[in-house]
Chain A
Amino acid sequence: MAADKTAYLGRSVERLEDPPLVTGAARFVADISFPGQLHMRVVRSSYAHGEIISIDTSEARLMPGVVAVWTAEDIADIGPVDFRADRAAEGLKPYRQPVLAKGRVRYVGDPVAAVFAEDPYLAEDAAESVVIEVEELPVIVSADDPPGEFAAGRGTEAAVMHHSYGDIDAAFANAERVIALDLRTGRHSGVPMETRGAIGRYDAAKDMLELHGAAKVPHRNQETLVRMLGRDPSRVHVHECHVGGGFGVRGELYPEDILVLVAAMRLGRPVKWIEDRQEHLMCANQGREQHHLARVAVDAEGRILGIDDEFFHDQGGYVRTHGSNVANRTMCTITGPYRVPAFRAVCHFRLTNKTPCATYRAPGRYESTFVRERLMDAIATELGIDPIEVRKRNLIAADEMPYTIAFDEPHVSDMVLDSGDYAGLLDKAAAAFGWEALRVELDRRRADGELVGAGIGMFVEEGGRGPTDGARIAVDANGDVEVITGGASLGQGFETTMAQICAEALGVDYRRVRVIHGHTDLIPYGIGAHATRATVMTGSAVNVAALMVREIAIDAAAEMLQTPADELDINDGTVVRRDGPTGPSVTLGEIARRLAPGAAGPGQGDPGQGNPGLAAEGFFTTKDTVFPYGVHLAVVRIDRGTGQVAVERFMVAYDVGRAVNPMMIEGQLVGGCIQGLGGALYEEFVYDEEGQPMAVTLADYLVPSLREAPDIEVLITEDAPSPLNPLGLKSAGEGGINGVGAAIAGAIGDAIGDPGAVRRLPLTPGRVRDLLRQADAASPGTP
């Protein structure tokens, strides 16, 4: 136990979440059942693109236990799955996904019909008897292909988007050297261990519609449901259960969420849907698949004059809840931590006949970092400069902070990099990794015939975007603290983080803090847990509210103890004199009883204004974004015969601003890093030329196992606390994954002896073998 029993910020305390999770007491959505519930099974298209000629549900309707079978006609009054309000983009609306396919199917897995039955096995039996007749249409499997027809008069290129600033033509005209690269990132996804699930329940007595199994953004989803279903905001609520991983994918609204809600109302019984793994790998959001034609203009010293990037974003069959957000984030973050005087990006946002895409951990940024760092390595190679030195020449300096990147396009928000010592972190990481000695060692090993190399990925993350979030804190008569937030937990340790912030500010043991999240009926606002916002936004709001409760407690105690407030402190849930903790004291529970409405005694229990009792509601508002930053360093060894890549070492160096719980931050960084290694080396959603998905089991989509997970070296720094919130928080959810593809690509290029060779992720053994053959062909005579 630390000397100060209520110092919790910065301590690696055990998680409050763990006990129910290790004992089986946790309740994930599949573990929830309501009396009388029906089970839904979705009938999906087995064609990538086609006109629906007929759907025959007659046999299914007669099968045992089947209550209803729906097609689009049965829910003709329900519109497509809407964008979030803050993603409204008129031009993209025609590309939204209908709840059940109307007229056309657009990817393998597209929901066409829904079976509702007494038992999930019976629902699946019936679903197999539904016959869908489809007239096949031409299939587009690549965003490189010429755009086709999405609907009459509407092409599959849904948008062409531009981001720019500076005089890009002059930059290229004045360049000493122009380097052009053709780069691709593969199609990946988060693939959480828990598949999706949803239970719709309608309580007719209260006229209340409930969605159980929400995650990530409960309040945003509630807003969308209110719009889509035309219900009063107070008559549809969403409820989070335990959530088995999110990674951006889980918790968005999907067709199945709408189906269970509508069915619960119309069939008059709760409706449960639990996705199977094959469905997940065909239907949950995928991401990352982009093809970049990137050019960089540099001067003779390797300083960047301009970056010009045209890229093709593969959106899949429909535009989902995020609109074009991933492509936007790609464009905003291509310049990363570097000073780029002129910039132009053009994105061809194209639909294809594959699973729809949206955010996956570090959305758009894993992609942009791969592109940017490939360019940096190419500059280093072309000009014969050390790869660390070329980065240092271009990094934005600490004394330039805050650094504003203002785009020409009025609708594109400025990027205001809030704080950071990028070169300082690069130096620290290189020193901790032993970069100089490592280069010598790798040269020696390569001379001995080994295929070994090192690579770098440097990046700026972004998080904590506003505008506002709040928290309600109340202390009960026993001195236990309840924190009600509009946040969400995807397994990242949200409860512990919030409890630590509250405990530190209020002066209580964090284990006496109970954190509520994910229930829209308990608090009318909330940003959820996405885009690494939770710690910054909700954490800052919890800090504000806890400080308010603290002030109320101390004021009340001052009166109770007849001691000036400024002589009082709160330690381990008890208000004590600062100078003599052994003197008179009063517990927070006693104060809560004293302040309770109706409590006896003079001056107490008058809830005339504000919150009654020992309670407060606090808000944190910001119009800015925080920008943590990191460096990834990798060493790989390639097996010449098989093309298999072994990651010998990997370091994640990351500045979090302020670490609330270093153990959990390390957990985020290591876990994210291994997930990134999956995307760099193993995982890929491959489709054949007819749009059939080839990776529909976990035996085909290769998530790393322990044997593919090297020990990750982690360097957490707090050199640049954010000036934008009182605790200096910056968040850590996506810093482990962002630069992995870039660092591994650099390391493999270095190992092959051609730093620019790697143009494409993932680097599966077959692709690495191709690279080795190309390198051998280019320099005959090498072993």
Chain B
Amino acid sequence: MNGKHDITLTINGQAYAIRVEARRTLADVIREECGQTGTHLGCEHGVCGTCTVIVDGAPVRSCLMFAVQCDGAKIRTVEGLADGEEPHPLQRAFMEHHALQCGFCTPGFLMLAVGVLEREPDIGDEDLLDILSSNLCRCTGYANIVKAVRAAAAQMRRR
């Protein structure tokens, strides 16, 4: 069980060749072995969605995957959202609409929304709300998160 595996994770375009135990979660490996601490852990049992990252184009809960399952996968985290100094439309919208207070859940919401809007830019509002209800926030009461995601979605569609 404690044998280690050589894997390569590509995070935000950067390849990390690492050796990990099979039991290490993707979230822990992104944070510890790869040093990308923008991905946060809120519950470690797959309910809160705080640890959401995009693996090969799909938003996933990185606390519920093992890193070895992602060998060779392309992973995107909050650190890779901005284009240089230029924030991603969703990052910009979260700031403009006061969609965060403590900001701990924010990376998870951003990656969830980015993953969904890239796959389904014309997603209906009800479906969008359903998807956003899969992550938890304890500060904002959600209204401003919804406003921000709707605003960014409109902007991303115009691009």
Contact = CB atoms under 8 A, between A and B. Distances in A.
Interface stretch (B54-62, B64-72, B100-108): B100-108
A277 B103 contact: no
Contacts of A699: 45, 47
Q: Interface majority SS on B: helix, strand, loop or mixed? A: loop
A714 to B, nearest CB: 10
A709 B136 CA distance: 11
Contacts of A22: 78, 87, 91, 94-95, 100, 103, 106-107, 110
B87 to A, nearest CB: 7
A245 interface: yes
Contacts of A703: 136, 138
A21 B45 contact: no
A193 B48 contact: yes
B21 A24 contact: no
B96 interface: yes
Contacts of B137: 193
Interface residues of B, number: 54
Contact of A23 (B23, B79, B132): B79
Contacts of B34: none
B142 A277 contact: no
Contacts of A666: 98
A26 B103 contact: yes
Interface string A709-722: 10110000000000
Interface stretch (A27-35, A367-375, A532-540, A593-601): A27-35
A666 B130 CA distance: 24
B98 A245 contact: no
Contact of B103 (A18, A191, A673): A18
Given A23-B81, A24-B38, A705 B136 contact: yes
B68 to A, nearest CB: 14
Nearest to A243: B102
A247 interface: yes
Interface string B126-148: 00011011111111111111100
Contacts of B142: 674, 705-706, 709
Interface stretch (A429-437, A487-495, A742-750): A487-495
A706 B144 CA distance: 11
Interface string A174-210: 0000000000000000111111000000000000000
A191 B42 CA distance: 10
A271 to B, nearest CB: 17
Nearest to B63: A277
B133 A277 contact: no
B45 A698 contact: yes
Contact of B98 (A276, A278, A664, A707): A664
A667 B43 contact: no
A741 B151 CA distance: 33
Nearest to A24: B38
Nearest to A670: B141
Given A22-B100, A491-B103, A706-B129, A27 B37 contact: yes
Nearest to B134: A705
A707 B104 CA distance: 20
B39 interface: yes
Given A190-B138, A706-B129, A121 B23 contact: yes
Contact of B100 (A18, A31, A191, A194): A18
Contact of B141 (A28, A242, A673): A673
B103 A23 contact: no
Given A23-B87, A671-B139, A706-B146, A245 B104 contact: yes
B159 to A, nearest CB: 19
A193 B102 contact: yes
A15 interface: yes
A17 B103 contact: yes
A29 to B, nearest CB: 11
B105 A193 contact: yes
Interface string A662-705: 01101110111111000000000000000000000111000101
A15 B98 contact: yes
Which among B96, B139, B140, B144 has the greatest number of chain A C-beta atoms within 10 A?
B139
B143 A24 contact: no
B75 interface: no
Given A23-B91, A711-B143, A492 B101 contact: yes
A19 interface: yes
Given A23-B91, A706-B132, A491 B104 contact: yes
- Per CB-CB distance, the 4 closest pairs between chain A and chain B, nearest first, are A24-B38, A491-B102, A21-B103, A244-B104
16 contacts: A19-B95, A22-B106, A23-B79, A24-B78, A30-B31, A121-B23, A121-B24, A190-B138, A193-B50, A193-B105, A242-B102, A277-B42, A668-B101, A671-B140, A697-B43, A709-B142
